[in-house]
Amino acid sequence: MARELAVPVVVIGNITVGGTGKTPVVIALAKALQAHDKKVGIISRGYGGTHDKSDSTSSLLVNADTSVLVSGDESLLIAQETGCPVVIDRNRSRAAEYLLKEFPNTDIVISDDGLQHYKLYRSLEVVVIDNKRGLGNLYCLPAGPLREPVSRLNSVDWVLLNTQPSHEQEAYKRKPLQAMIRETLPDSKFQLASVNLQPSQWLNISLQKHYDLQEPSWYQAHIEKGQPTVMAIAAIGNPERFFDTLNTLEITPQKMAFDDHHSFSPDDFAASTEEIVVMTTKDAVKCAGFSNEHCWALKVSLQLPKQLIGDVLNLTNIQGNNV
């Protein structure tokens, strides 16, 4: 049985394989709690980094200056975007205990992924589902995309459907996902809501300078004249989601998809004749060391349901009253 910790733990996870958008939800929730003066700590596995690959039996604190080779892409991105202490460890319970030891004033811990890590105590569970891909055929691996049976949703607190504006207007030739989930799980008690990942800014990776969406000169020239040409790269769980987002900005790029957490090198761009290279912020942390002025990252943001933020804040209030 998981041992309860001194502060509430919120797990942001999924029940499907592939990317669903958990990391943007973690970042958005951390920022929302910080806006209410809460001290947030975040734990993650640090997948893809050397610390994770080393089978280490110790936890590692990640900050904005940690090498991405050590930390992995997602944990470094979270540290840079939130300024929160981020601790990585395959053993998430150990990560949480280490975080609370090093930062005893922490009000709440957010776990990036870890829904299936049952040794980790959790106060509230949030499952993120990609609205376009949904739950597939509702079968578990290897027959389908589910890590756990769909009935697992009956025990979570929130289900967030990660959508895009273009997807909301599509019929998908199937029943809307919200209706399908409610019909499949008629007795479920979880809160169900949609969240929209929205492009917010461009980041010039080599300059580490932010620009409004319409501001870069190359962007205006591309959508008006088709020049300069653009190469879009993505090493995320669902690369098409990034390419779809670029389409909403009227960018028509050449596309290059890599395996999730791919470790980039300059050789990956050697075959590209495109004048501009665009990527996700998750990929940008791995390319910062060799990017030039033609490399850009698209930053995104999302608004979480106010009720979800309120539910999490209530956890900290209850915990505080019990101390």
| Residue 172: predicted pLDDT | 44
Alpha carbon distance 80, 74 (integer Å):
10
Q: What is the mean pLDDT of the chain?
A: 91
Residues 218/275, Cβ–Cβ less than 8 Å = yes
| Residue 198: predicted pLDDT | 92
pLDDT band, residue 18 (cuts 50/70/90): confident
**Higher per-residue pLDDT: 48 or 152:** 152
pLDDT reading at 321 higher than 60 = no
| Residue 19: predicted pLDDT | 85
The pairing of strands 276-280 and 230-234 is parallel
pLDDT reading at 265 higher than 80 = yes
Structure token pair of residue 89 = 């460890």
Per-residue model confidence as pLDDT tens digits over 144-175? 999 999 999 999 999 999 987 554 444 444 56
| Residue 132: predicted pLDDT | 85
HSE-up (13 A, CA, CB side) for residue 182? 9
Widest CA span of the chain, in angstroms? 63
The answer for residues whose C-beta is within 8 angstroms of residue 103's C-beta and 6 or more apart is 39, 41, 85
pLDDT reading at 231 higher than 80 = yes
The pairing of strands 158-163 and 191-196 is parallel
What residue type is assigned to position 107 of the chain?
D
Section 34-44 average pLDDT: 98
Alpha helices for the chain (secondary structure H)? 22-34, 50-53, 68-71, 73-82, 92-102, 165-168, 177-184, 217-225, 239-248, 281-287, 306-322
Alpha carbon distance 219, 202 (integer Å):
10
Alpha carbon distance 202, 213 (integer Å):
6
| Residue 269: predicted pLDDT | 74
Structure token pair of residue 215 = 């501001």
**Higher per-residue pLDDT: 18 or 79:** 79
Per-residue model confidence as pLDDT tens digits over 80-95? 999 999 999 999 999 9
| Residue 45: predicted pLDDT | 93
Per-residue model confidence as pLDDT tens digits over 94-138? 999 999 999 999 999 999 999 999 999 999 999 999 998 899 999
State the DSSP code for 143.
Answer: T
Q: CA 74 → CA 23, 26, 67, distances in Å?
A: 7, 10, 12
DSSP for 158-179 reads: EEEEEE-HHHHT--TTS--HHH
